[in-house]
Structure 1
Amino acid sequence: MNPHISLPRHNSSGPSTFGSTPPTRNEGIRMPRFFKRLFKFPQMDFEMAIWEMTSLIIAPKKVFRSIYYHKQTKNTWHRPDPSFTYLLSFFLLLTSLAWSLAYAPTLSQTLRITLTFIFIHFLGTSLLISTLSYFLVGRLLGPGVPGLPGRRRQGLFSQPPGEGEMLEFGYCFDVSIRAFFPVWVVLYVVQFLGMPFVGKEYWVSLFFGNTLYLIAFGYYTIINFLGYNALPFLQHTELLLAPTAVLIILWFASLFGFSMPRHLAPVLWAGANLGSKAV
């Protein structure tokens, strides 16, 4: 039997599918690549994730410079690689064990601290902030009348074909988890090592302890700003730096007697007691 190739009919009312797979009803419903790669560890770029973590402390602006190359090759600002999430979750697991050994006398409290650090502090907070940013930043700081906030439609994990540039929820999540890394370094590592000092009832301890929180939340705000400022279609992103003024005011007010480490230490959120080791 001779192979036969049928040409598309010229009188067909629908679009031609010659040389391509015919469209199906569910073609527009696709699982995001981020979820497809959740358990494909050989495909994850952990080396890139380590470089990003180092750069977030030394030169955070470099982290978001590479998104232009990713946008040109993948047509999405979101990077569907969960390696950063897994790596930071592993670091939180280690620090949760350290906090537990110091301040949690029972196994149940250790498990509670571990789950709280990873699923509430890190993933829960990142999902909350990224959701708020998706609806507020994308709609209020998008393209519009010069000098005024704009509004535009938004995507989730990719740029729909034929649409203009839009903020993706996946990119908001990328920014949020990267902004959490300096918070982990300052409040989960440095604060833990300094708790015997910053938890004391001295004004110098109060000053250094509260300054740690100012640095951590200030870093978080700056990295959020850098992440959204890297998108060329967003305007007035400098408004995202406004929380830094509020942080400075709260930090100055706290120096009159409110010790943040004694009331806001991460281990307290999990129901553990700092005990006499922190005072």
Structure 2
Amino acid sequence: MVIQSGESSFGRDSVTRATSPFLPPPVTHRKDCMSAAVKRYRYLRRLFKFEQMDFEFALWQMMYLFVAPQKVYRNFHYRKETKSQFARDDPAFLVLLSFWLFVSSVGFTFVLGLGVYEFCKFLLYVIFVDCIGVGLCVATVLWYVSNKYFLKPNYRGQDVEWGYAFDVHLNAFFPPLIILHVLQLFFYHVFISQDWFIARLFGNTLWLISIGLYIYITFLGYTCLPILHRTQVLLYPLVPLFLTFIVSLASGWNIIRTIMDFYHYRV
């Protein structure tokens, strides 16, 4: 009788915790149900609670995306084992990424000579088009392709989470953001924008490294999942990427200057 009473109390405590205030509760609280809606609910709950975010670990991830991205995805495996999901449940990485988007937009404002209104437009473009818009498209396509064509036959019934696919995009987006939106700003007017071959070589190499890192980190994100195979297909775009780099040097095309002109035209 005492044990039954304790179990009843535990059930009431679980319902109380699940229906805490601040955000409306998800549709179901069953332990065996971990739908995308529930995961999204938990993620959004933490988005406004900075004291609960692990910014130190998010900074560690950002650093290792440059030097050893495999270690970042190893942590996703630990999360799957402990929390039954690959996707992040801590929005600290997204918050820090937003900070870098703001800082890089300020840098572009000075380099391109933009006003306050143009700065606001540029910031909105970078956040909602370059980062989120492109990310939604890329994550959705790769989520569909991985579940449709990369899933191992003996893992039917499991799938790649869409939230994880978007996390992979955010991981892959960060190094190009720092290289093309922060680092190259220090060299653009004094070097990259010149008509010299060495300037074109330097700028186009930055572009090659940035896009190459995006493709490679995306590949790592999917190849580390034990339920997928044949993910080496995701590396195939490296071939046309390198060919474009060679053609740009031979034809005198300064890719970075074209990108900067596009950004200036867009705002």
Q: TM-score range by the shorter chain?
A: 0.7 to 0.9
User: What number of residue pairs does the alignment pair up?
Assistant: 242
The whole-number CA distance in structure 2 between the counterparts of 1:53 and 1:19 is: 40
Letter in 2 for 1:186: I
Identity, in percent, stands at 34
Conserved in 1, the CA contact under 8 Å of 2:112 and 2:264?
Answer: no
Secondary structure of 1:37's counterpart equals helix
The whole-number CA distance in structure 1 between the counterparts of 2:10 and 2:107 is: 59
- Residue 230 of structure 1 aligns with which residue? 224
2:204 to 186, 203, 210: 210
Map 1:141-156; keep pairs closer than 5 Å. Answer: 141-144=150-153, 152=156
C-alpha RMSD of the superposition = 2.6
Call closer, same or farther: CA 1:95–1:183 in 2, change over 3 Å. same
The whole-number CA distance in structure 2 between the counterparts of 1:116 and 1:18 is: 51
The whole-number CA distance in structure 2 between the counterparts of 1:186 and 1:105 is: 21
The whole-number CA distance in structure 1 between the counterparts of 2:171 and 2:228 is: 19
String of CA shifts for 1:220-270, please: whole Å, max 9, x gaps. 0000011111100100111111111110011111112211011113x7336
TM-score (norm 1): 0.79
Conserved in 2, the CA contact under 8 Å of 1:109 and 1:272?
Answer: no
Letter in 2 for 1:71: K
- Residue 167 of structure 1 aligns with which residue? 160
- Residue 94 of structure 1 aligns with which residue? 103
Call closer, same or farther: CA 1:254–1:176 in 2, change over 3 Å. same
Letter in 1 for 2:245: W
The whole-number CA distance in structure 1 between the counterparts of 2:51 and 2:134 is: 28
Structure 2 unaligned regions, length at least 5: 16-25
1:198 to 182, 187, 192: 192
The whole-number CA distance in structure 1 between the counterparts of 2:146 and 2:184 is: 31
The whole-number CA distance in structure 2 between the counterparts of 1:142 and 1:210 is: 36
- Residue 242 of structure 1 aligns with which residue? 236
- Residue 185 of structure 1 aligns with which residue? 178
The whole-number CA distance in structure 2 between the counterparts of 1:240 and 1:270 is: 32
String of CA shifts for 1:58-104, please: whole Å, max 9, x gaps. 11111001122211111111111111111011111011111102213
Matched, 1:54 2:49: no
